Amino acid sequence: MHMSPRKRPVVWVSVIAVIALAALANYCAPRQPEQRRAAGVSDIAIAAQKVYVAPGDLDEYYLFASGGHSGQIYVYGVPSMRHISTIPVFTPYPATGYGFDDESKAMLGELTWGDVHHPSLSETNGDYDGRWLFVNDMNGRIARIDLRDFKTKQIVGPIPNVSGNHASAFVTPNTEYSVMASRFSIPIPKGTALGVDKYATDYKGVITGIKIDPKTGEMALGWQVVMPPFDYDLGDAGKLVSNGWAFFTSYNTERATGKLEVTASQRDRDYIAMVDWRLAEKSTAEGKGTMIGGVRVIDPKTVPGLVYFIPCGKSPHGVDVSPDGKYIVGSGKLQGVTTVFNWEKIQTAIANKDFTGDEDGIPVLKYESIRDAEVNVGLGPLHTQFDDQGFAYTSLFVESAVAKWKLGTWEVVDKIPVSYNIGHLAAAEGDTAHPQGKFLVALNKLSHGRHLSVGPSQPESSQLIGIAGEKMKLLYDAFTEPEPHYAQIILASKLKPI
């Protein structure tokens, strides 16, 4: 059968169109990606898988983060990093009526704002037990949150004699005490007027133990120890072999005034104070000490063995005890190393009276006798957390990074940049006797360029990092209201909310 001449052009046009479309399709078909690009896509897919929690599914961990000047606690799920709830603590919260009813108004008293820094979960045998969350306020207060209903149930303070309660609210391994310490040394009792020319001799720091009822969680003032006029910054409690001791970093051991950026940075080393809190408890029960501001305050000069000073790198910020309690890790933020002290060596030095002097009658241990290592982690080390494989993770404020290093060999094995200027960091149960590993959250101070612009005032960046493998992997950027100074991550299965 022959086609008519009139139809032939249509057929040829159709054939040409098909050929052209086939050629175009072949030209536009995805090409085999280069190997480098394939790896990138794979990394993104793996990261997405690790953080994705499907609708209706639940996160594996809770993260409790301090809310800074909001006065509240923020609750997130990990690994999704979804904000789940805000727990009102030191500031009224109209969304739930907190601070407006009679009960919460009575708890807040005359102070209706707070500066929240360090949440601390209750512990049993050095591990989180999911009962309570304690958190400090710079106004000399500590609050207790009941994790059965995520409600603030008690606020104690302002505590007498303590000014600027920063090194708080860290708990001892069986939640016997939550601790406090003076960030700003003052003449005591509060309200005493003395010129700054008397600062070195007559101003005092104070370390406090807040007693916790093991059944109800009720808090009450336990003991106080008067200290030299240093700035006491952060703390941690010993565990296992070092149980019974509490550790506090301090700076301005020069006892300086004036331009502190210059005058308070003259020494090569400052101190970590270590306090035998069981001896403080016993001495208070025996009636030792002097009544100051209505509280019995113990002077370490009168109770030998109560307090010792450990020399540490200049202006130390964090002090962190390893999961087995064998190592005390101090990070001098004006020094490029993190220093590891050996608990057995500390005990030997005390027994041998291996001291280099004293501060107001408190012995100073010989640095060379108790140090195990100076780990070259990087610039501006602040805080250290631990995993379940014997590794430590230290935040580097100046370098905007996290360094991973091995306990025992002291080798830095990995480093990951963060955005930007990290302060604290939190690993999954990373400050307990049995860390979980898996995840770490970098609590960064700056976030510029990491999110849609909201004007000149920026949120802060909390970056989720995977730490299960040999190399750390950035998984997710989350953003928070200012300022989550510190956070803790607990297995969700440990909590039994009503």
CA distance 381 to 399: 9
Higher pLDDT, 25 or 176: 176
CA-nearest of 148, 236, 229, 165 to 196 is: 229
Q: What is the DSSP letter of 409?
A: T
- Tokens 């408890």, residue located: 281
CA distance 312 to 249: 9
Give the model confidence (pLDDT) of 333-391 as tens digits. Answer: 888 899 999 999 999 999 999 999 999 999 999 999 999 999 999 999 999 999 999 99
Is there a contact between 442 and 449 (Cβ–Cβ < 8 Å)? no
Entry pTM = 0.91
Residue 334 sits at the vertex; the CA angle it makes with 333 and 340, to the nearest 5 degrees, is 55
CA distance 414 to 405: 7
Q: Are strands 307-313 and 316-321 parallel, antiparallel or unpaired?
A: unpaired
Q: Residue 307 pairs with which residues in a beta bridge?
A: 275
> What is each CA distance from 411 to 343, 370, 404, 415, in whole angstroms?
20, 19, 9, 12
Burial of 195 (0-12, 13-18, 19+ CB in 10 A): exposed
Give the model confidence (pLDDT) of 384-418 as tens digits. Answer: 999 999 999 999 999 999 999 999 999 999 999 99
CA distance 320 to 14: 76
Give the model confidence (pLDDT) of 113-151 as tens digits. Answer: 999 999 999 999 999 999 999 999 999 999 999 999 999
Give the model confidence (pLDDT) of 153-173 as tens digits. Answer: 999 999 999 999 999 999 999
Is there a contact between 227 and 182 (Cβ–Cβ < 8 Å)? yes
CA distance 273 to 249: 6
Q: Are strands 391-396 and 307-313 parallel, antiparallel or unpaired?
A: unpaired
Does a cis peptide bond (omega within 30 degrees of 0) precede residue 359? no
